[in-house]
A and B are shown apart, each in its own frame.
Chain A
Amino acid sequence: MHIAEGFLPPAHAIGWTVVAAPFVVHGARAVVKEVREHPESTLLLGAAGAFTFVLSAIKLPSVTGSSSHPTGTGVGAVLFRPPVMALLGTVVLLFQALLLAHGGLTTLGANAVAFAVVGPWAGYGAYRLARAAGAGLLPAVFVAVALADLATYVTTSVQLALAFPDASTGLVGALGKFLGVFAVTQVPLAIGEGLLGVLLFRVLTANARPELERLGVLQPTVAPGGAA
């Protein structure tokens, strides 16, 4: 869930925008460099942004009978890397605010920190660690996607706890409350999103191997007989 417009006090909204800014600017620089070197990347990056937006429109069946929507942060981080996701994620959040009324403009910075910075970096970090530890692509994708989803909501809870400390137990009490409402309920959904990520990558490795190799997710396979 995105923090709605007007929900954060102005000082917090500004503070989180300042926190998000270096990551988004870094992502923007990466995109500008990429587009300068390969003008055709504009279309591929735009497609990646559109996919991230549309991914959040896929209904994820949940065991409890209700349904939820994937955050897309983990899948995006594995496919397109966190620096690019910082920018694409922020663009997608802006579009979600303007096309779906999810989130807001003054809370864009806070939502960008959770969805476009912490989520992708946590997911990508877990992915690299799992791969370095010898895990296969699919288990690493599961860990990355589930952790990215969870890290996103833990960050949202921290942001809300900082803005609204509990009257008697302060920040710690407030963090417990918000984690209980926004993050613990998210655990089964994070597992669900992890499963969706595994199924997505299973189809992609079977049907879109060249694209995964181009993105660096898979090592290029040497054709039998070597390069001619």
Chain B
Amino acid sequence: MSLAVDDAAWRSAWRRRAPGDKLLLCAGLVGCALALPAWPGSVLVALTAVALALGPARVPARTFGRAVRWPLAFVATGALTAVVSVGDGGLGWAPDAAARAGSLVGHAVAGTAAVLLLATTTPVSDLLPVLRRLRVPAAVVEVAAVTYRLLFVLLESLSTIREAQAARMGHSSVRRSYRSSGALAAAVLTRSWDRARRLQEGLAGRGMETGLRVLPEALPSSRAFLAASAAGLAALVSLGVLAA
């Protein structure tokens, strides 16, 4: 089983760009999304992130659109709750409700789009070596790497077992559905242990003693990409500040 964002990252036209380059661009965009005034700053950041993803990075619009649904549900609920005022006369709108809600939604949508640009162009396994360069201990990065590799195997198990349960009427009532979900979680957990044990035995047989060393793929940094990113971010900052 696969995850749409992960699939997009592996297929993206930016897949072979250096992860550090993409991380710098997206971190810059997230910084702009947070620091610039919502109008027009956040709008410009969101448009830039979406244009880069759908344009040069060739991320499917459907994947990008579907991925933002969840965060949008949170942003809408959170922003609405933040601008409703509870007073003596019951519920009402805060004095500057529209402006505050607009600003909250703007920052969050722009930030989410910027992170999603990174997520849909860079597989997690490319980002983990960057964590190592940021001085995260090797043991922690390795645990994260095993987590990333195993979660797809477990998602596959989850979907297969669930299908089998559904075919045997395992979800035909709330009571049965609970029992099936408990058994499903237990089956996935025991399978994860089994997988880990088998992997361990296989690696021990190959002489693993200290860590899971793999040959990292060489993805060279591009000066042109970095220069264009810096110029684009500078333009965003000036436009966002001047037009506010």
A residues apposed to B, CB below 8 Å? 1-7, 9-10, 13, 28, 31-32, 35-36, 39-40, 42-51, 53-55, 57-61, 63, 75, 87-88, 91-92, 94-95, 97-102, 104-106, 160, 164, 166-169, 173-174, 176-178, 181-182, 192, 195-196, 198-200, 202-204, 207-208, 211
Contacts and interface: CB of A to CB of B under 8 A. Distances in A.
Interface of B: 3, 5-6, 30, 33-35, 42, 67-68, 70-71, 73-75, 77-78, 81-82, 84-87, 94-95, 104, 107-112, 114-116, 118-119, 124, 127, 136-137, 139-140, 142-151, 153-155, 158, 171, 174, 177-179, 181-190, 192-193, 195-197, 199-200, 203-204, 208-212
A98 B127 CA distance: 10
B158 to A, nearest CB: 6
A7 to B, nearest CB: 4
B196 A208 contact: no
A142 to B, nearest CB: 12
Given A35-B142, A45-B146, A100 B186 contact: no
Contacts of A196: 178, 181-182, 185
Given A54-B154, A54-B188, A167-B94, A61 B177 contact: yes
A162 to B, nearest CB: 12
Given A46-B196, A49-B147, A167-B95, A199 B139 contact: no
A105 B34 CA distance: 12
Contacts of A106: 30, 34, 111
Contacts of B114: 5
- Among A5, A100, A195, the most chain B Cβ lie within 10 Å of the Cβ of A5
A51 B154 contact: yes
Contact of B199 (A10, A32, A43): A43
